[in-house]
Structure 1
Amino acid sequence: MIHPHTYIHPNAKLATNVKLDPFTVIHQDVEIGEGTWIGSNVTIMEGTRIGKNCRIFPGAVLGAIPQDLKFNGEKTYVEIGDNTTVREFVTINRGTVDRYKTKVGNNCLIMAYSHIGHDCVIGDNCIMSNNSQMAGHVIMGDWAIIAGVCAVHQFVHIGQHSYIAGGSLVSKDVPPYIKAVRTPLSYGGVNSVGLKRRGFTLDKINHILDIYRIIYTKNLNISQALEFIEEEFTASDERDEIITFIRESGRGVIKRYAKGSVEED
């Protein structure tokens, strides 16, 4: 299962049934779970942990040191969960002292030429489409999707079950369950198609839609809108997730689209 033209450092730990194609390099202190396939010309560097049944396509570089001038050689990691696919020429950098690791969850698809910077945390079942670039310290919730050729600013938080349209510049936080579209990036409604695919009932989707109508269409400021939602809406996991996300936003959440608007950062 290991081609003779592949280099594996003696202290790398490979489980059973790992398949390594030719011209791949496995550095020291690497762990790879059983059933994982590593394509040709892949470089897996120190501190990388790859789960079971993953597929790493040719040209990927996992675990390179962070592109951060403050990095001082500290022991940090890249962790990739089970059943995750990393396509051609993806780069995923190790963490820094902020989190000490960059993490990609289970059942994710990271498409070709994408970059995940240091200290990012990608949830389970996420999709990051071709040539999208993620700066350091980004958090991406479960089931979120980033379409192609997006650029995500450092420290941005992307909520679970959200969808970001292709070609977007993401400099503000994107709340859960919504579509983020247009330029500047704006609220584009609830991600109802995605929610239906994941088993959300129509009642739950309408509940989420009613919450976002208060936030984005009732001419209330954020504090007023959240207070109104807490007082008037029945408690639910979705309601509490939205409220908590917006209250804890570090960069501020995206706004409703206004024709002729200019984004101020």
Structure 2
Amino acid sequence: MTHPYTYIDPNARVAPNVKIDPFTVIHGDVQIGEGTWIGSNVTIMDGTRIGKNCRIFPGAVLGAIPQDLKFAGERTTVEIGDNTTIREFVTINRGTTDRWKTKVGNNCLIMAYSHIAHDCLIGDNCILSNSVQLAGHVVMGDWAWIAGVSAVHQFVTIGQHAYIAGGSLVSKDVPPYIKAVRNPLSYGGVNSVGLKRRGFELEKINHILDIYRIIFNKGLNTSQALEFIEEELTASDERDEIVTFIRESGRGIIKRFTKGATEED
């Protein structure tokens, strides 16, 4: 299953049925799970862990050291879950002492020319469209989707089931279940289409809509809105997740779009 023009370090742990195309280089401290395919001209560097049934397309570079001047050669990792596809020329860097790893979950699609920097944690079933650029320490919840040619600031958190429109500059946290659109990036409603596709019932989607109407449309500040939600709305996993996400936001959440707003606002 390995082409003679491929180099595999004898210390690498590669499952027997992994298929590796020519001109790929696999370093020593690497693990690759069963059923994975590695295309041509891929470089898999020390510290990379790849799960089962993944597809790594030509030109990808996985496990390069962080582009972080504080990095001093620590033993860190890149971890790729099962059934994940990594398209052409994607780069994923190892972690630093902050989290010691960069992680991409199961069933993800990382499209061509995307970059995932050190210490990013990407959940399951996530999609990064072409040329998405994640700075260090970004966290994405399960089922989050970032459309093409978007850039995400370091330490940003993106909630599960969130959708971010193409060409976005993401400098604030994006709460779960919503669409983030426009420039500057703003609340664009609940991601109802995505939620329906994933089996959310209409009643639950409407409940999420009610929560975000209070946060963005009722004229309350964030603290007042969260207190109102907890006092007036029926308890649910979605309600508690949204409230906790906003309370724990390190960078503050995106705002409702206001005509004439600027990024500085």
The 5 Å alignment of 1:83-162 reads 83-162=83-162
Separation in 2, partners of 1:216, 1:250: 19
Uncovered stretches (5+) of structure 2, i.e. residues with no partner = none
Describe the SS at the equivalent of 1:228.
Answer: helix
TM-score when normalising by structure 1: 0.99
C-alpha displacement of 1:16: 2.3
Separation in 2, partners of 1:125, 1:17: 25
Q: Does residue 28 in structure 1 map to residue 28 in structure 2? A: yes
> What is aligned with 1:71?
71
* Letter of the 2:255 counterpart: K
Separation in 2, partners of 1:4, 1:97: 37
Separation in 2, partners of 1:197, 1:121: 24
The 5 Å alignment of 1:51-66 reads 51-66=51-66
Separation in 1, partners of 2:209, 2:148: 26
> What is aligned with 2:216?
216
Runs (4 or more) in structure 1 with deviation over 2 Å come to none
Separation in 2, partners of 1:113, 1:193: 27
Describe the SS at the equivalent of 2:102.
Answer: strand
Any idea what the Cα deviations from partners look like across 1:78-104, whole Å, max 9, x if unmatched? 000000000000000000000000000
Separation in 1, partners of 2:133, 2:50: 21
Uncovered stretches (5+) of structure 1, i.e. residues with no partner = none
C-alpha displacement of 1:253: 0.1
> What is aligned with 2:5?
5
* Letter of the 1:22 counterpart: P
C-alpha displacement of 1:243: 0.3
* Letter of the 2:228 counterpart: F
Separation in 2, partners of 1:42, 1:197: 34
Separation in 2, partners of 1:243, 1:174: 13
C-alpha displacement of 1:9: 0.4
> What is aligned with 2:198?
198
Q: Does residue 50 in structure 1 map to residue 62 in structure 2? A: no
**Identity rate, percent:** 85
> What is aligned with 2:173?
173
C-alpha displacement of 1:263: 1.8
* Letter of the 1:16 counterpart: P
For this pair of structures, how many residues does the alignment match?
265
TM-score when normalising by structure 2: 0.99
Separation in 2, partners of 1:15, 1:231: 54
Describe the SS at the equivalent of 2:207.
Answer: helix
Describe the SS at the equivalent of 1:62.
Answer: strand
Separation in 1, partners of 2:263, 2:64: 34
Any idea what the Cα deviations from partners look like across 1:205-257, whole Å, max 9, x if unmatched? 00000000000000000000000000011111100110000000000000000
